Amino acid sequence: MSDAPPTKTAPPAVSGATSASPVTANWRGHLRVGSIVAETPGVKTFRLLPSSSDRFLPFTFVPGQFLNVAFWIGGARMIRSYSISSSPTRREYVELTVKREPRGAVSRHIVDLLKVGDLIEAAGPVGKFTFDGTEADSVVLISAGVGITPMVSVTRYLTERAWAGDIFFIFTCRTPADFILGNEVATLQRANPKLHVAVTMTRSEGTGWKGPRGRITKELLTQTVPDLASRRIQLCGPLPMMEATKAILAELGVPPENLKTEQFGAVKPAPAAAGIALKPTAPATGPLVTFSTNNKSARIHADQTVLELSEELGIGIDFSCRIGTCGVCKVKMTSGEVDQAVQDALDDDDKANGIILACQAKPKSDIAVEA
């Protein structure tokens, strides 16, 4: 973002970010929009290039990972996560495929306003929703809507590598016009005899669609994938589709350790996006939370997260997903104890060093955090 106001939280470019040698973790810097392709109504793919004259990106990634991108919108810095849809074999660029949410703060900014040549502030790559062919000898990729993006990255990579395993690619959307990256899936299918594609459309009446109709069902899964329960499965899509599919997979005897999932965001919009009033009415009686950097303390409400309390107090902890996936809200806790329902974004080093996810953390005792 060339026009970003100065901020103490703006990340500096890390050492190596402008060199051709790969930096595989904790990269922060800028990428330049190289090209923009309209995929479906409201969905565009942005090819991002190094911001310098370097030929190669300053980081590498594993298929299924995502980038966190930051924008200044209406005077506020907003961060969101986007899965990389291109293959890691393409060292010159990454592609993000973004769906415009009708009332979304950042996705509308990206889809409506971003132009070729713009600089984007980005960090990553991050995420554990990965598959590179070493984890299992076959894979079942189940997705809906824009949840297709990490699946396309995985399929592109495995196809380019002539991976010997079977790839079962199961996807659902409303109509053929909503099939994001549909041409790419067809191209991969022609190139890869090990790629088995099953697509079902939920609102295909009058569209000429000749394939399966309706949602993903037990029958569709068992007809497409032999021995489903013994295979590695990756699932990504809107929450209701994920919940329904998880229930079917459990019924079909898929052990939890065979299933990897990624949810793309919270059910409710972020307060800043929705203009939700942040001040609860009743006085808080929970543990005391001290934000040491800001020299502020307050008691927390029952069921409130550290992130929500920080927003009430006007303390700027960055966030993106608010569901424990992206890691943008990591803060260091210097004393006390918290419960965290989801800890997907924390690795062993984080846990050993007292790092918590503010969007998940609910204090069990008085705590102090560096924020």
Ligand X SMILES: Cc1cc2nc3c(=O)[nH]c(=O)nc-3n(C[C@H](O)[C@H](O)[C@H](O)COP(=O)(O)OP(=O)(O)OC[C@H]3O[C@@H](n4cnc5c(N)ncnc54)[C@H](O)[C@@H]3O)c2cc1C
Binding partner of residue 103 among ligand FES, ligand X, none, CB cut-off 5 to 8 Å per kind: ligand X
Question: x-or-dash pattern for ligand X, window 321-340, by CB under 6 A?
Answer: x---xx--------------
Q: How far is the CB of 275 from ligand X (least distance, A)?
A: 6
Among 87, 130, 149, 245, binds ligand X (CB under 6 A): 149
Let me know: does 351 contact 274? Beta carbons within 8 Å: no
* 233: exposed, middle or buried (Cβ count in 10 Å: 0-12, 13-18, 19+): buried
56 exposure class (CB count in 10 Å sphere: 0-12, 13-18, 19+): middle
Which of ligand X, ligand FES, none interacts with 180 (beta carbon under 5 to 8 A by kind)?
A: none
Between 59 and 82, CB nearer to ligand X:
82
Is residue 80 close enough to count as binding ligand X by CB under 6 A?
A: yes
Measured between alpha carbons, how far is 139 from 225 in angstroms, rounded to an integer?
10
Q: Is 118 helix (H, G, I), strand (E, B) or coil?
A: coil
Task: Answer yes or no whether residue 114 interacts with ligand X by CB under 6 A.
Answer: no
- DSSP one-letter string for 51-92: SSS-SS-SB---TT-EEEEEEEETTEEEEEEEEB-S-TT-TT
Query: What angle do helix axes 148-160 and 182-191 make, rounded to 10 degrees?
Result: 30
Q: Site residues for ligand FES, window 304-343 (CB under 6 A)? A: 319-322, 324-329
For residue 179, the minimal CB distance to ligand X (Å) is 15
Nearer to ligand X, 31 or 321 (CB): 321
Q: Which of 40, 87, 97, 261 binds ligand X (CB under 6 A)?
A: 97
According to DSSP, the residues that pair with 332 across neighbouring strands are 355
Q: Which residues bind ligand X (CB under 6 A)?
A: 66, 80-83, 97-99, 101-108, 127, 146, 149, 262, 264-265, 269-270, 273-274, 321, 325-326
Q: Which residues bind ligand FES (CB under 6 A)?
A: 319-322, 324-329, 345, 357, 359
